Amino acid sequence: MLHLYRLLFFILCGLLCLPSCIRDDSPSGEEGIRRGDRLPDFSVLLSDDTRISTSDLEGVVSVLVFFHTSCPDCQQELPVVQRLYDCYRDNPQVKIYCISREESAGEVAAYWLANGLTMPYSPQPGREVYDLFSEQGIPRVYVSDKQLMVYSVYSDSPIASFEQLQADVEYCLK
């Protein structure tokens, strides 16, 4: 019986020590850039070799998604964002970009292909761009208005729904 308790204790300790790709942030999910803040100045190279920067987002509604393909919550959020992208892909007033955190171009490309994703993405091997927005936690979704002001921020608790993201985009389009 003592052996069973000891085993359960070690299993519990092991589970508590597992690293998480998503629960390394504050409980509110809103440290760093918050609603009402201006988007930070950044520049990324997309998978199609197009460079985008903060200035390219002025005058359009933008949705920026930070992710890692091995993160379970990101794996749930990305199809939601793909649905949003499909809804607005032909609207020049809405731009949706996914930016990886600490992940190679090959890893992201393979995930996109395997999951039928078509959204523009920027593979980032480091955290430099991500750190401009937040210190910890993915997924992280920022919806910004035409003046580069952040209208909403979503993290993993809970992840953003299609309806929430669409309502935010529609509000910012007005």
- The answer to whether 149 and 142 have CB atoms below 8 angstroms apart is no
Counted domains in the chain: 1
Residues 122 and 48: their CA atoms lie apart, in Å, by: 9
Between CA 166 and CA 154 the distance in angstroms is 13
Q: Can you give the pLDDT at residue 158?
A: 87
**Does residue 116 or residue 135 have the better pLDDT?**
116
Residue 92 included in any domain: yes
pLDDT in tens, 46-90: 999 999 999 999 999 999 999 999 999 999 999 999 999 999 999
| H or E stretch at 82 | helix 72-88
Q: Is residue 12 part of a domain?
A: no
14 assigned to some structural domain: no
Domain that holds residue 133: 37-173
Domain assignment present for residue 128? The answer is yes
Full-model pTM: 0.83
* CATH number of the domain enclosing 80: 3.40.30.10
Residue type, 4: L
